Structure 1
């Protein structure tokens, strides 16, 4: 019986019932040590097995295994390892590599989470699944990443994932996006009932003392009576609750005979729990199997079926804390000598113990530690590899070796997404590394943290300073760094930094045969000149149409493609970004949000509003799930701007771009100009604001400020002409029409160029502008066809405010049949749909196939079909075609 946890038990019981109905739940149980988290997990596991026939998988975080890659995941999936091969080949390979059952290259830190989610889906299709992760605060980082990634995606799959994490005296276990269940201390009445049931023989005064000192902590209520019976209760220090228990365990361990205490310490430091290993290690310390007896008798150790375990993790902590440094070093050395080393895991464990037993720099040990970063499960996940390389660096006697290993640690930390740690490691390594190519790589790593913290100027200078020294040894890296520096400098909005990047680029010394490096250097120079308002299109465009891009690493391609939009070739930009997004989506790479953000920008500029919103939503969701707040925020801003084009409400304060779009749609010229000035009249306007410059020209002209409009148009014309794009020429002609005394031929040119371009929204707006001009100049019959076509195009594109403007103009031109606003589709009641069903239905209504929907949502086509099958009757439809005829509310 679990005392005082009726409400919490009911929450968990409801989660089990939801799983039986095909719905997923993830939950983190939090509370102090001994508060009852493990008891609740054991109770829900019993219920799952007895009442519902759920598949129960469990893992336990062990402090000494935090540096063993995927140790927690291996424990969780061991019972179902034979089912991994039901997954697609790529996902199966990822899990086999992580679990050490196959060799393979280390993947992106999100691939394992995707594969785990797919496996849980496959298992849940047969029967509901319950995953229990106790002491999650001790789970290794690579397993935690994968588990949390999968947990955040549990929606309409019959899987429950429960984490138990300790508050206080333990590492933090952040779990953003997962609901928390906090376990409070027991009230006095419940505590008294628990104590009476557990220790009915206690004298009244002792019971009162225990109740007071336990302070509602269940474990303390159980352990303090044991301490009383052993005569140790009065020895405890001034502490309450879990601290009382922690001190009590420490006292009980300290009172063991020396050889028994040594065995308990060995068991605490080993973590593996293998009795044979423990006995072999004990022999090196003069102990034997018989010395386990006192620890077993006092309830400090359990030995069953060749395994040794602790009744509570606090005992493990107490054993380590009460040992002296010399005792811990001796125990680690004994374990290092006793592990067999026949498997990659054993080798990693042995090296970890060897490192812990080494108290001064030792190259032979450092070499083994470095080697261990490349073996074991998953060939060491990035976060674990960073810690391992850092440990090897601390053991390195030679500064050069120490610097090289710190550089490896910095790279691994960056790949793990921990940019602050990566930057700190790179700074340490830089003073010890002489190789210019390695130093250049460290500069790239160092630049990540300030960039994501909103200091692009600092990041750009780090890249500039790091590039030139590397030119002779790593020309491609040096040239790429300057391309990255130039883009970062442009983001900073400071012309001086862009000029510094251009000066460094022009002066970059490259070997004669460095063809790829020259292409990257020329593209960097072109990008800098475009940012500064000078010709630079040709070299930048050549990068995107040549072969160099495909020879870059995937992350570098993502960085380079951020600036394809500066060429103005939006068709090429969408092709390249879509191609890279597909590649990243298949590999579940962490750079996917960045690519989807850039793809959103292109689709927005092309006027494909529905596609742009779907892409931005995916970018935001994946960025949040992968803990990339920078890209999540940018995706939200893009979604707000798209909503402004579509006339949908925006939560919170919309960004200036969204407010400018709304003002333009309403015809509020003064408000629109004020906002456009904020966006474009800066020291160095960004590339996206350059696309708004035509709107500023036209707004100035319509407000009667012809001279200002002419100056703004003259400043924009060189870039627009240099792009060579018909849409750019068409927009220049449209803007010129607002300033010319004879605008008719300019309107004709604008319409002719935009009608064949890849910007249908701008074509429709040009039809609207032309029709409005015809109406205002007394030719309503000539205006009506243009306005009617504009209204139809804008409605099809989903630009509701602009559709309303076109229809208002059409009515003003004498077309009394023009509706006042777009006819509302039949409203659909989506309240019965689950969030996942709503998302799937909306994408299906936009015309995506099951496979395309699955790729966006990281679901299998079969699961997508299942969601649609469930959603159709709830909506009263029977096909995809009918979905397009009903109103699907946003969200």
Structure 2
């Protein structure tokens, strides 16, 4: 019976049946499965059984190797190698992305998301059922792992299966894939396996080996090879202790050590090269024939074509490298670097591994390779290459620059903020003079770590001033520094000196500033004065998002859209960025996208959706150390609390934001805190406090320069001024909104501008202005602003004794506030209804099942669907379905209204 015969899988009946069922089902329907367990537990044997069973299915099998983990897209290339002939049938953007990623040709930046889509399309073009088998997933390069996970989650109905094996605790399994845990063998199965493989071994020796192996099949099969013939026969004394890991390594080392020197040299070349390509052996002047000795021992195996070999297990490869001396390893790396001159990335890496001292030429090659990997969508490997390049830099300036680049990428792309701090400290120690890259990394670090707005601005502005004049608009580092300067200036608020630095730097760019940076300079920095021409350019940029593959660019376009109410058409692109971040892509971009989508959901009245996005974003901020990005999530959470009448939560949000903003001179965060406070004060009827807070953002009668948040508090300021007898100030602010042209920026701001004018109009004119404001199409896209407008008009109609008209508007506004869960506003509308002889409709008496009542009660207490599911042993999807049915049954549209609905249900007559 062969070693790979499925019948030899002792104690694996359940695992084997599960895997074979998966193979059959995947051939028909597609799907993915990851086998996870400790090293040597038998995952590879289960993969062997799956391959043997996959009759009529095309099988592509690869195995990760520890020394290839830094080779970006290496595993992806091996998986897709049989299918590259189909590249010509892909859309041009996908074919280009995949060609660049696989190193098959040149081209522009290959975003990992585009490569993922291209890989999926290429595989689905293959004829017949297909099974992709990946062993040792933990040693697959990260870029390939992310793409494999993307593909594996989208195989339903394709006839393509992905079957992978990964080590427990290595964190290599892509999120969202089904996992089968492969446990250690029980004693009976372990004894049966040893008896089968070593039938002449005495029972006493087998028992001892079973005890020491602790159910690990690889140890059971390999440990006996370390024993002498006398020990295996039971006539020699066994060692007192057989540590599993040490003995396994010794077993491999012993088998390798007995090979001829020529064979060991060939194994070392193959191990360090990682490709297993026999052409590489010939390129370094070595005949591969002596490998036959290793193949006879089962250390390596040849593929069907005879052009490649693979190690029987990664530990064999590790043992080969371990047994070689340092001088031998470097000598082989030098040969491999020469053999790979046509592949700059591999050439640079082997030169780096061969280096014994700092070498600027090698460091520069490796840095160039890092930049290429970053453009190809593999920032993690780019960071690794930059760190190695820094080690090889003979001059402090070069070391500083490369460490700074690694620190910046680690912060803004990969989510490795805490480790980036250490890298930046090293870069600063090595620096001999200021540089743009070091300033960029330093400013980003102090801004994220301490929120030091002024310090970050000084660093960036000084570095930009030191750049040549005129500044080169193609300098990517300079442009990234300018994007960061714009962000830092916005955090500072309306400080004219800070904005002057940015505008002066933009004016120095030649031949012209990049389009997106120019758009952001107006629509994000000072949207109240955004021109019609710049808004048209923004709309063009938004339309291009459907084809945009850069997460950073998607986020920046959405930022430009945020203050001028154009986030809705950005939704799909932002959702892609969030999904990419969840799958291991840029974390910072995903956090920003969650925040932007949360803002869009707030304006569209989907407040529970906003809170869910905020919760996810804040969780990522905590997990990755992004303190700065957390403030906007806290603002949105506080704003909803204020609108819903949760004064304690709103006050806590205001206190938290102002405590953070005041010592850091962050005018932007202060302004957001003031908006939460103003809305909370309006809900409580404290109009004096509301006026004070709203005018702390911008004075009545003007829209201060570079205060974008003034666009969000027009109605707050005007209503508070009217309610406190400041009629002149209210009228001046409404007039300023009209004169500034806020109504031309978006339909929502047109509504706000018209309602402000109606609120301040003399009796007789106000009714006409309200009617005109509420006559515009599509106003239900902004339910909170619309409900406020209807409330104000209903109040005016009630005072004018127009009761029937007042009832119509007040009933509509009460219903909108109820659906939003905006309790203080709903109470105000209800009081107005009573004043005109009507009342809000009571909730109907309904009957809930015990499970529905439990779910509703827990949701009313603020638990998420996941938390409710954990308590009631239900899936989050099931909980969501129940709530979807419960909301209309109870007459509510949000969780915030559940508590009152349940109370009414308890009080209702039975």
Alignment TM-score, normalising by the size of structure 2:
0.70
* 1:625 equivalent among 579, 583, 596: 583
The residue that corresponds to 1:134 in the other structure is 135
Match of 1:591, SS state, is helix
1:378–1:774 CA distance, 2 compared to 1 (3 A): closer
Whether the 8 Å contact between 1:219 and 1:242 is mirrored in structure 2 is: no
1:659–1:265 CA distance, 2 compared to 1 (3 A): closer
Q: Could you list the runs of 5+ residues in structure 2 that have no partner in the other structure?
A: 1-5, 616-632, 728-758, 847-880, 882-891, 896-910
Note if 1:36 corresponds to 2:36: no
Note if 1:57 corresponds to 2:57: no
Provide Cα deviations, 1:710-733, integer angstroms capped at 9, x if missing partner.
Answer: 433543453873279999766544
How far apart are residue 487 of structure 1 and its match?
3.3
Provide Cα deviations, 1:480-533, integer angstroms capped at 9, x if missing partner.
Answer: 746734633664xxxxx669x76566578969xx725599xxxxxxxxxxxxxx
How far apart are residue 189 of structure 1 and its match?
0.8
CA distance in 2 between partners of 1:697 and 1:411 (Å): 38
The residue that corresponds to 1:444 in the other structure is 440
The residue that corresponds to 1:812 in the other structure is 834
Whether the 8 Å contact between 1:697 and 1:712 is mirrored in structure 2 is: yes
CA distance in 2 between partners of 1:653 and 1:551 (Å): 26
Whether the 8 Å contact between 2:415 and 2:588 is mirrored in structure 1 is: no
1:201–1:571 CA distance, 2 compared to 1 (3 A): farther
How far apart are residue 317 of structure 1 and its match?
0.5
How far apart are residue 773 of structure 1 and its match?
5.4
Listed as ranges, the matches of 1:8-157 within 5 Å are 8-13=15-20, 15-16=22-23, 19=26, 22=29, 24-25=31-32, 27-47=33-53, 49-50=54-55, 53-123=56-126, 127-152=128-153
CA distance in 2 between partners of 1:720 and 1:58 (Å): 70
Whether the 8 Å contact between 2:675 and 2:713 is mirrored in structure 1 is: no
Q: Which moved more, 1:373-382 or 1:259-268?
A: 373-382
1:622–1:329 CA distance, 2 compared to 1 (3 A): closer
1:503–1:806 CA distance, 2 compared to 1 (3 A): closer
Match of 1:359, SS state, is coil
CA distance in 2 between partners of 1:97 and 1:58 (Å): 23
1:87–1:195 CA distance, 2 compared to 1 (3 A): same
How far apart are residue 185 of structure 1 and its match?
1.3
CA distance in 2 between partners of 1:762 and 1:685 (Å): 28
1:482–1:372 CA distance, 2 compared to 1 (3 A): closer
Note if 1:357 corresponds to 2:332: no
1:788–1:340 CA distance, 2 compared to 1 (3 A): closer
1:675–1:319 CA distance, 2 compared to 1 (3 A): closer
The residue that corresponds to 2:552 in the other structure is 591
Whether the 8 Å contact between 2:34 and 2:177 is mirrored in structure 1 is: yes
1:379–1:461 CA distance, 2 compared to 1 (3 A): same
How far apart are residue 140 of structure 1 and its match?
2.5
CA distance in 2 between partners of 1:38 and 1:730 (Å): 66
Provide Cα deviations, 1:442-485, integer angstroms capped at 9, x if missing partner.
Answer: 32234445555674647556435544433647487779746734
CA distance in 2 between partners of 1:327 and 1:18 (Å): 48
The residue that corresponds to 2:693 in the other structure is 712
Match of 1:470, SS state, is coil
Match of 1:786, SS state, is helix
* 1:739 equivalent among 703, 724, 743: 724
The residue that corresponds to 2:187 in the other structure is 188
How far apart are residue 762 of structure 1 and its match?
1.7
The residue that corresponds to 2:806 in the other structure is 783
Listed as ranges, the matches of 1:428-467 within 5 Å are 428-429=426-427, 439-449=435-445, 451=447, 455=451, 457=453, 459=456, 462-464=459-461, 466-467=463-464
CA distance in 1 between partners of 2:657 and 2:531 (Å): 21
Whether the 8 Å contact between 2:490 and 2:525 is mirrored in structure 1 is: no
Note if 1:384 corresponds to 2:381: yes
Whether the 8 Å contact between 1:94 and 1:111 is mirrored in structure 2 is: yes
Listed as ranges, the matches of 1:247-286 within 5 Å are 247-275=250-278, 277-278=280-281, 281=284
How far apart are residue 127 of structure 1 and its match?
4.6
CA distance in 2 between partners of 1:810 and 1:584 (Å): 46
The residue that corresponds to 1:515 in the other structure is 507
1:202–1:462 CA distance, 2 compared to 1 (3 A): farther
**Aligned pair count?**
768
Whether the 8 Å contact between 2:34 and 2:173 is mirrored in structure 1 is: no
The residue that corresponds to 1:563 in the other structure is 524
Q: Which moved more, 1:29-38 or 1:629-638?
A: 629-638
CA distance in 2 between partners of 1:432 and 1:149 (Å): 40
CA distance in 1 between partners of 2:394 and 2:726 (Å): 80
Listed as ranges, the matches of 1:395-474 within 5 Å are 395-400=392-397, 402=399, 417=414, 420=417, 428-429=426-427, 439-449=435-445, 451=447, 455=451, 457=453, 459=456, 462-464=459-461, 466-470=463-467, 472=469, 474=471
The residue that corresponds to 1:536 in the other structure is none
1:235–1:715 CA distance, 2 compared to 1 (3 A): same
Note if 1:768 corresponds to 2:791: yes
Match of 1:718, SS state, is coil
Match of 2:172, SS state, is coil
Provide Cα deviations, 1:329-384, integer angstroms capped at 9, x if missing partner.
Answer: 233344445x375xx34x65455434333322345555655566678998795443
1:379–1:690 CA distance, 2 compared to 1 (3 A): closer
Match of 1:722, SS state, is coil
1:586–1:243 CA distance, 2 compared to 1 (3 A): farther
Whether the 8 Å contact between 1:666 and 1:801 is mirrored in structure 2 is: yes
Whether the 8 Å contact between 1:601 and 1:612 is mirrored in structure 2 is: no
1:184–1:746 CA distance, 2 compared to 1 (3 A): farther
CA distance in 2 between partners of 1:484 and 1:322 (Å): 49
Q: Could you list the runs of 5+ residues in structure 1 that have no partner in the other structure?
A: 492-496, 520-546, 825-873, 875-886
CA distance in 1 between partners of 2:379 and 2:532 (Å): 36
Indicate the RMSD between aligned Cα atoms, in angstroms: 5.1
Listed as ranges, the matches of 1:460-609 within 5 Å are 462-464=459-461, 466-470=463-467, 472=469, 474=471, 481=481, 484-485=484-485, 487-488=487-488, 491=491, 503=497, 506=500, 515=507, 548=513, 550=515, 552=517, 563-564=524-525, 567=528, 579-580=540-541, 582-591=543-552, 594-595=555-556, 598=559
CA distance in 2 between partners of 1:690 and 1:454 (Å): 19
1:821–1:129 CA distance, 2 compared to 1 (3 A): farther
Provide Cα deviations, 1:256-309, integer angstroms capped at 9, x if missing partner.
Answer: 3444433332332232323454366475xxxx7665454344333345624333
1:430–1:572 CA distance, 2 compared to 1 (3 A): farther
The residue that corresponds to 2:13 in the other structure is 6
Q: Which moved more, 1:107-116 or 1:563-572?
A: 563-572
How far apart are residue 632 of structure 1 and its match?
4.8
How far apart are residue 75 of structure 1 and its match?
0.4
Whether the 8 Å contact between 2:191 and 2:210 is mirrored in structure 1 is: yes
Whether the 8 Å contact between 2:811 and 2:833 is mirrored in structure 1 is: no
The residue that corresponds to 2:197 in the other structure is 198
How far apart are residue 653 of structure 1 and its match?
9.9
Alignment TM-score, normalising by the size of structure 1:
0.71
CA distance in 2 between partners of 1:617 and 1:691 (Å): 25
